Amino acid sequence: MQYKKTELKRGIKLHTISTNKFKTNLIAVFLTTKLTRENVTKNAVISALLRRGSKTMPSQEEISKKMEELYGASFDCGLDKTGENQVIKFYIEAINDNFVNQEGTEILKTALKSLFDIVFNPYIENNVFKKEYVEQEKNNIKQRIEAKIDNKATYSLERCMEEMYKNEPYGLYKFGYIEDLNQLDEKNLYEYYKELISTCKIDIFVSGDIQDTLQDLIKKDSNIEKLTEREANYNIPNPLNKKLPEEEKDIQESMEVTQGKLVLGLDINMDQAQKRYAALLYNSILGGSANSKMFQNVREKAHLAYVAGSRYLRYKSNIFVTCGIEIKNYEKALELIRQQIDDMKNGNFTEKDIEDAKTGIIASIKAIDDEQDTELTYYFGQELASEEVSLEDYIKKVQSINKQDIIDIANRVAINTVYFLKD
């Protein structure tokens, strides 16, 4: 596997992952822009609109037909909140030309053109988006926003983030807000789309058994040729030197639930980027694995949680501890979680805990190149963070962490917000 990136134009990069490990080529276009209240809902609707059709494929049926012509290729899109950025993602996965026994096939070339058409040459009527499509997608987004309450675990995590980052970009919900949908129409959305395409950071990824001529092929595509250079309008993540909270926020909400959802948002004050490897291990030992303190002590031994774990968000230097508990056990569960955090500060964990954590993390690193989409996600994350770490170096950095490194991180952790969803 060989990874290479090239700047096609200022603010527009091509990333190639050359590998013969797969029978398919995976092509992706990522549009990255700053996360703002003004534009978060617009971006959600735009991401949904673009998949409805392009100038050459004016409907979803036409897109599906084109995918079938490409020997059953698949098209997908998504919307992410990554740090203080919103990322609109588009993918086409198609079989490599080498596996089609038919002369004259140009599957990769056709797939590239199709994806670029969808993203950069959308279907419009009378110089605006199609009104019918706009109204349908606004309604779909509205339903999606309303449905976020259905999954109580996800809802509770989102609410904890919202409270931690109140009045800050990261507190925004990635699909936006119902009250903002009413202001959007086919005209102002198309005007915004043109602004987005001319100012956002654009990353094009191609993974698979690819030829040296790929870069020229992409550069000469009419959709790429018309893109202008730009100072990419996005936020480079800066997780360092986060000010720890002087006091905890305590947020409790009531709803018709049979199980309480307890979420603790933790801040980490890291002064060096290299300390994120220690933070990875800290999180794994605290709640990121089946051998973790949260799982073993809160769930298995004390029987205070149905679900207990944690996750590390490196772009924001946060850890979120999540538990599903009986509502009556709130105080006991919270006290025991605090004890696990204190134990980490005091070094009350073993060398075996560290080795188990390293084994799990390294296994997940080694699995990155087993799937094309996880490879893309890994290299895109590095691109956003303006860093380059090979998978081999990543493993070495994890292996180099010792117990004192983890204790040092533990003493840079503080609880920011305690959120509890109860009946």
pLDDT of 413 reads 97
Rounded CA-CA distance 21/154 in Å is 35
User: Which helix H or strand E contains 94, and what residues bound it?
Assistant: strand 85-95
Whole-angstrom CA distances from 44 to 125, 138, 169, 356 are: 21, 9, 15, 40
Cβ-count burial 153-192 (b if 16+ within 10 Å, e if not): eebbbbbbbbbbbeeebbebbbbbeeebbeebebeebbeb
Q: How much is the pTM?
A: 0.94
Q: What is the mean pLDDT of the chain?
A: 95
Q: Given a cut of 90, is residue 277 above it in pLDDT?
A: yes
pLDDT of 405 reads 97
pLDDT bin (cut points 50, 70, 90) of residue 101 is: low
Rounded CA-CA distance 174/158 in Å is 10
Rounded CA-CA distance 132/357 in Å is 52
Rounded CA-CA distance 235/226 in Å is 25
Closest to 170 in 3D by CA, of 277, 374, 313: 313
Closest to 244 in 3D by CA, of 318, 313, 159, 163: 318
Rounded CA-CA distance 194/177 in Å is 22
227-268, pLDDT tens digit by residue?
Answer: 999 999 899 988 888 889 989 999 999 999 999 999 999 999
Q: Given a cut of 80, is residue 115 above it in pLDDT?
A: yes
Residue 154 phi/psi, 5-degree rounding, is: -65, -40
Report DSSP state, residue 171: G
pLDDT of 102 reads 62
Using only the alpha carbons of the chain, give its radius of gyration. 23
Average pLDDT over residues 192-203: 98
Q: Given a cut of 60, is residue 57 above it in pLDDT?
A: yes
pLDDT bin (cut points 50, 70, 90) of residue 1 is: confident
| 30 Cβ contact partners less than 8 Å away, ≥ 6 residues apart | 87, 88, 89, 90, 201, 202, 203, 204, 205, 380
Closest to 362 in 3D by CA, of 388, 390, 399, 389: 399
